[in-house]
Amino acid sequence: EIVLTQSPDFQSVTPKEKVTITCRASQSIGSSLHWYQQKPDQSPKLLIKYASQSFSGVPSRFSGSGSGTDFTLTINSLEAEDAATYYCHQSSSLPITFGQGTRLEIK
């Protein structure tokens, strides 16, 4: 099973700040890494697929990069509505697995 480790677990940030969340895989997964945003009482929403491809309708301030074992989700110019938990997910092999999540708090 491929283990995904996100950092940090929690971050408190101010609006307009730039945020970086990392996801490290226990073995190489190519670019089969995806990012989701989950707000309280809502279903998760796909933000970035295959490491760097933005999903339809996602604001341009969200971007992804990386390949192999190290990946990054970047949120430029953070907005209050970005308060959420962010998860990475690998689809390189079954069982598919998720990172433990990064909770983003807006000050």
Exposure on the CB side of residue 47, measured as CA atoms within 13 A: 25
**Phi/psi of residue 82, nearest 5 degrees:** -85, 0
Question: Which of 25, 34, 64, 73 lies at the binding interface for other proteins (CB under 8 A)?
Answer: 34
The answer to whether residue 52 forms part of the interface with other proteins (CB under 8 A) is no
Encoding tokens for residue 30?
């190519």
* Contact letters for other proteins, residues 74-93 (x by CB under 8 A): -------------x-x-xxx
Residue 45: partners with Cβ closer than 8 Å, 6 or more residues away: 36, 37, 38
* Contact letters for other proteins, residues 3-22 (x by CB under 8 A): --------------------
75 to 34, 61, 88, 104: CA distances (angstroms): 15, 5, 14, 11
The answer to whether residue 99 forms part of the interface with other proteins (CB under 8 A) is yes
Q: State the minimum distance, in angstroms, from the CB of residue 43 to other proteins.
A: 4
Start-end of H helices in 1-107: none
Q: Which is nearer to other proteins, 72 or 97 (CB)?
A: 97
Residues that bind other proteins (CB under 8 A): 32, 34, 36, 42-46, 49-50, 55, 87, 89, 91-101
